[in-house]
Amino acid sequence: MEWLAQLQGQIVGLDTAPLIYFIEKNPTYLDIVRLFFRALNQGEFRVVTSVVTLPEVLVYPLRQGNTTLAQQYREILFNSQGLTTIEVIPDIAETAAQLRANYNLRTPDAIQMATALHGGASFFLTNDAKFPSLPTRLSVLVLDELM
pLDDT of residue 130: 85
Backbone angles phi, psi at 23, to 5 degrees: -65, -40
As for how many domains the chain has, the answer is 1
DSSP letters along 108-125, please? HHHHHHHHHHHTT-SEEE
Backbone angles phi, psi at 134, to 5 degrees: -110, 90
Please name which of 134, 103, 110 lies closest in space to residue 121, comparing C-alpha atoms. 134
pTM of the model: 0.93
**Per-residue pLDDT tens digits for 110-132:** 999 999 999 999 999 999 988 88
Q: What is the CATH number of the domain that holds 103?
A: 3.40.50.1010
Question: What is the residue range of 79's domain?
Answer: 2-146
The counts of H helices and E strands in the chain are 8, 5
Please name which of 120, 37, 128, 35 lies closest in space to residue 86, comparing C-alpha atoms. 120
**Per-residue pLDDT tens digits for 45-95:** 999 999 999 999 999 999 999 999 999 999 999 999 999 999 999 999 999
